[in-house]
Amino acid sequence: MPTSPDALTPDALEERIAELRAAVRRAMAAGDRVRARALRAELRGAERAWDEAVLGDGGDPADERPWAGGGAERGLLPVRDQVHQALTLLGVPAAPKLIGSVYAAFFPGEIPGARLTSLRRDEERSFRTAPYARPYYLCAGLTADLLAAARGLVTVSTWPLEQRIVGPLSPRTDFLTAAMRVAEHAGRGDAASSPQVRRLLWRFATNIPGATDAPATGVVGVVDPAVLAEAARAELDIHQAADRDQRRQAAERARAQLDEAELLFGTRLRAMRTAASAAGGVPSGAPAPAVPRRRRAAATASRKSTASRKSTAAASRTKTPRRRSSAPATGGEAAPRTSRRTSDPAPPRRRPDGASNGDDR
Amino acid sequence: MTDTALALDRLRGGAPPRNHDARTIAALTANPGCARRGLMDAAGVDKDAVARALGFPAQFGQSQFAITRGNAFEAQVKADGCAELLTLLRDRLGLRLPEVAYDDLEVVGGNEGRELRYTRTRRLLARALESGEGTLFDHPLLRLDIAGQPAYLEPDVIAFQLEGRFHVIEIKSFAVIDGQAEPDQVAAAARQSAVYVLALRRLLAELGAPADRVSHEVFLVCPENFSNRPTASLLDVRPQLAVLERQLARLTRVDRILEELPDDLTFAPGDALPEAVRAVAARYAPECMATCEMAFFCRDEARACGSTGALGRSVRDDLGGVDSIGTALGLANGTIEPSPDLVETAEQLRTAARLRREALDGAA
């Protein structure tokens, strides 16, 4: 570790951290959540010790603040867990606005809207720093054609890839699926009586043909969840087969072409990479290149010059060495992370779940 | 890159070009004789910045609240896979249930490059023409030749395919109350939509499809009454299309304007900026105040040299051939001897002066 010339302790700690991370992952893979949680607590302790050993004397107290403050206030669920709950209920890629209203309707409390905007970026950074350190990641939907991150949609990394692909028909099928899930959830117990749930159901029902025919209730503005679910299923039947085909094909392509991080967060530098692979004679696969190569090169050049966005720069920085060493990287975890740590000036060391965007900015 | 493109790059002074939108093109056609505006728009100069550097900041512009409101309404209509829009289209135009495909053209693989987006728009529309695939196309990027230069259009619009014909959907946030909307707003929306229809037709023509594959009826989506609920109506933009096509054909070509200008002219900020701007002739009229960021500067210039245009377009037309107010007054007083081609105008001016004198004397 080049950044710690003083003692052996940080090295030992780093080994320990790497071991613990692997152990957490194994425990999660085996489905042993209790053990995973215990290991994670240990892991945090080790990370804190590493921080003290490396940054201890000259360490910036501001680094600690989000932790200390967050720990006291975090009586409620962290934002990412709230989003996870809402998404699990919906079962489809969803926009933050829908996630917010679903959570408000069915769960106690609300999701602070401002926190949702940076969530996906934080998750991506966390994943790239320590892959699979968390049991799940909130990640992007992938567009079916270019396998890039779909705008403004949040998904969960543990879903099957097909579920996270967004084809041309998927916005509608996802809307209908969400309507069914919400209606079924509202149909259980007396959830449907709350005004927020009623509003949510109405919002779905007004835009699904036949869903507002409610002889049972007979009141305008009140939706029978069963009728809504039935109407949504009827329209879903029309689109589902075609949509499922498109999603399956795109998912197969994605599995063949993308690395682990890209599978979760989408490709960003598609234009550059296809140009490179085409030049190298490697068949670039099914997604027909959107542009003739001359144009693509021009676009890439202009993009390079204007690539001031930090995330893009960081992505390209981390991607290049990792792609080359991708085969051994999957086995030995420590090697790529060390290289990334040296290349990235301020990696988010901590994983304060839910408060993850506190200090990395 | 052509010579013209190089010259236009130089005019911008290295700054990235600004995208045209339908608003600027609709405004451009309002004053087709203005070389200054034509040149600056063709080069994609940030006119607002230039006007500020000249000390004449434009005091108008769309209100931030209006922009936010417009964006919020558009987002609402397009939320959840265009749910509300699909409902409207099914109700009003009889869109069939299976037609729900939605293609987002605003970003291509995380890249917002104009060429990339234009190429992708073109590819998807070509596919739609061939196989009928695709229903809604969100934020396509179109291209239109303005005065011999291609201008990219950043339309705030969805192209929509119904039974093989494309329609333009324009989402506006002004309210339709009791079936009536503000006529000015509707007219402006129609003018802007006509630009999109025209650009879409040109694109389809390049792809080898007849122009009538793009409908002249625009689907206008607005909030209904005092609610946030969207309603929709069809807007026939044939008159606006005709005007637009005629005006675009009449626009002075940029390369002809460039020929008469010095080779080192640039609108980059600096001490030479006022001279550079004055080197290009403007054609100020009071209507410019509503549409052009440079209007305050041009008005100041027009008043300083006593241009008749500052009094309004009708005055300038009536005084055909007389450029300045001073000359017109001189002709009316008889202190300036008219040249042979102005004899008739001078006669009328003198008559007008005599009538005015008599009227004032009679009143006194």
B230's enclosing H/E stretch is: strand B230-236
Q: Do B109 and A146 touch (CB under 8 A)?
A: yes
B79-96: pLDDT as tens digits: 888 899 999 999 888 888
Q: Is residue A58's pLDDT more than 90?
A: no
CB of B108 within 8 Å of a chain A CB? The answer is yes
Residue holding tokens 């000390």? Answer: B55
Which pLDDT score is estimated for A220?
A: 66
Q: Is residue A341's pLDDT more than 70?
A: no
Q: Is residue A1's pLDDT more than 50?
A: no
Considering only CB atoms, which chain B residues are within 8 Å of A172? 81-83, 86, 100, 102
Query: Which residue in A39, A46, A40, A41 sits closest to A10, CA to CA?
Result: A46
* Mutate which: A120, A121, A124, A172, vs B, most B CBs within 10 A: A172
Q: Residue A235 corresponds to which tokens in the numbers above?
A: 């329209």
> Using CB atoms and an 8 Å cut-off, which of residues 121-150 of chain B contact chain A?
123, 133-134
**Number of domains comprising chain A:** 1
Question: Domain range for residue A167?
Answer: 79-267
Q: Nearest CA of chain B to the CA of A124: how many Å?
A: 15
* Mutate which: A291, A300, A316, vs B, most B CBs within 10 A: A291
Considering only CB atoms, which chain A residues are within 8 Å of B108? 146, 148, 290
Q: Nearest CA of chain A to the CA of B116: how many Å?
A: 7
Phi, psi of A267 (to 5 degrees): -85, 145
Residue A240 CB burial class (10 angstroms; 0-12, 13-18, ≥19):
middle
Q: How far apart are CA A268 and CA A247, in angstroms?
A: 20
Query: Which residue in B144, B121, B119, B236 sits closest to B189, CA to CA?
Result: B236
Q: How far apart are CA A5 and CA B42, in angstroms?
A: 59
Q: Is residue A176's pLDDT more than 90?
A: yes
> Using CB atoms and an 8 Å cut-off, which of residues 26-65 of chain A contact chain B?
none
Measured at the CA of A306, the angle between CA A305 and CA A310, to 5 degrees, comes to: 115
Q: Residue B257 corresponds to which tokens in the numbers above?
A: 């304007």
Q: What Rg, from alpha-carbon coordinates, does chain B have?
A: 24
| HSE value, Cβ hemisphere, 13 Å, CA-based, for B101 | 19
Q: Residue B227 corresponds to which tokens in the numbers above?
A: 């609610």
* Mutate which: B1, B73, B78, B80, vs A, most A CBs within 10 A: B80
Count of pairs with CB atoms under 8 A, one residue in A, one in B: 94
CB of B107 within 8 Å of a chain A CB? The answer is yes
Task: State the amino acid at position A26 in one-letter form.
Answer: R
Considering only CB atoms, which chain B residues are within 8 Å of A168? 101-103, 133-134
Which of B97, B106, B116 lies closest to A290 in CB terms? B116
Which pLDDT score is estimated for A11?
A: 80
Around Cβ A349, how many Cβ atoms within 10 Å?
18
B74's enclosing H/E stretch is: helix B64-93
* Mutate which: B91, B116, B143, vs A, most A CBs within 10 A: B116
Closest chain A residue to B120 measured between Cα atoms?
A: A290
Query: Which residue in B250, B253, B261, B296 sits closest to B31, CA to CA?
Result: B250
Residue holding tokens 């959107």? Answer: A290
Q: How far apart are CA B149 and CA B168, in angstroms?
A: 24
Q: Do B113 and A302 touch (CB under 8 A)?
A: yes
Q: Nearest CA of chain A to the CA of B115: how many Å?
A: 7
Q: Nearest CA of chain A to the CA of B67: how many Å?
A: 20
CB of B71 within 8 Å of a chain A CB? The answer is no
Residue holding tokens 């296809």? Answer: A274
Give the residue with greater pLDDT, A324 vs B28. B28
Which pLDDT score is estimated for A243?
A: 92
Measured at the CA of A35, the angle between CA A32 and CA A36, to 5 degrees, comes to: 80
CB of A181 within 8 Å of a chain B CB? The answer is no
Q: Do A295 and B119 touch (CB under 8 A)?
A: yes
Residues B32-67 as b or e (16 or more Cβ within 10 Å = b):
bebbbbbbbbbbbbbbeebbebbebebeeeeeeeee
CB A238 within 8 A of CB A118: no
* Mean of pLDDT values over A36-47: 85
Which pLDDT score is estimated for A273?
A: 42
Considering only CB atoms, which chain B residues are within 8 Å of A238? 97-98
Band of residue A216 on the pLDDT scale cut at 50, 70, 90: low
Q: Do B81 and A171 touch (CB under 8 A)?
A: yes
Q: Is residue A87's pLDDT more than 90?
A: yes
CB of A267 within 8 Å of a chain B CB? The answer is yes
For chain A, where are the alpha helices, taking DSSP H only?
9-30, 33-55, 61-73, 79-90, 96-106, 113-117, 119-129, 161-164, 170-187, 195-205, 225-257, 260-265, 270-279, 293-306, 310-324, 326-331, 334-343
Q: Nearest CA of chain A to the CA of B313: how many Å?
A: 44
Closest chain A residue to B112 measured between Cα atoms?
A: A303
Q: Do A303 and B111 touch (CB under 8 A)?
A: yes
- Residue A29 is assigned to a structural domain of this protein: no
A235-291: pLDDT as tens digits: 999 999 999 999 999 999 999 988 888 888 888 654 444 444 443 333 333 344 443
Considering only CB atoms, which chain B residues are within 8 Å of A295? 115-116, 119
B153's enclosing H/E stretch is: strand B149-153
| HSE value, Cβ hemisphere, 13 Å, CA-based, for A284 | 17
CB of B84 within 8 Å of a chain A CB? The answer is yes
The domains of chain B are located at 3-61+251-318, 64-249
What ipTM does this complex have?
A: 0.72
Length of chain B counted residue by residue: 364
- Residue A165 is assigned to a structural domain of this protein: yes
**SS3 state of residue A258:** coil
Q: Which residues, including other chains, have CB under 8 Å from residue A338's CB and lie 6 or more apart?
A: A1, A14
Angstrom CA distances, B5 to B2, B49, B73, stand at 5, 21, 38
Q: Do B84 and A271 touch (CB under 8 A)?
A: no
* Mean of pLDDT values over A131-148: 87
- One digit per residue, the tens of pLDDT, for chain B of length 364 reads 467 777 777 888 777 777 677 777 777 777 777 888 878 877 778 888 888 888 888 766 667 888 889 889 999 998 888 899 999 999 888 888 888 888 888 877 767 777 888 888 898 888 888 888 888 888 888 888 776 667 788 776 777 888 788 899 999 989 999 888 888 888 888 888 898 899 999 998 998 888 888 999 999 999 998 888 899 989 999 988 888 888 777 666 677 778 888 878 888 877 888 888 888 888 888 878 777 888 888 888 888 888 887 888 778 777 777 778 888 888 888 888 888 888 888 888 899 999 998 998 876 6
Residue B198 CB burial class (10 angstroms; 0-12, 13-18, ≥19):
buried
- Residue A301 is assigned to a structural domain of this protein: no
Assigned fold of B64-249: Lambda Exonuclease; Chain A (3.90.320)
CB A337 within 8 A of CB B147: no
CB of B87 within 8 Å of a chain A CB? The answer is yes
Closest chain B residue to A140 measured between Cα atoms?
A: B110
A67-77: pLDDT as tens digits: 333 333 333 67
Q: Do B104 and A151 touch (CB under 8 A)?
A: yes
Q: Do A268 and B110 touch (CB under 8 A)?
A: yes
Task: State the amino acid at position B106 in one-letter form.
Answer: E
CB of B72 within 8 Å of a chain A CB? The answer is no
CB A191 within 8 A of CB A200: no
- Residue A319 is assigned to a structural domain of this protein: no
- Residue A191 is assigned to a structural domain of this protein: yes
Which of B86, B100, B123 lies closest to A290 in CB terms? B123
Query: Which residue in B40, B11, B16, B46 sits closest to B28, CA to CA?
Result: B40
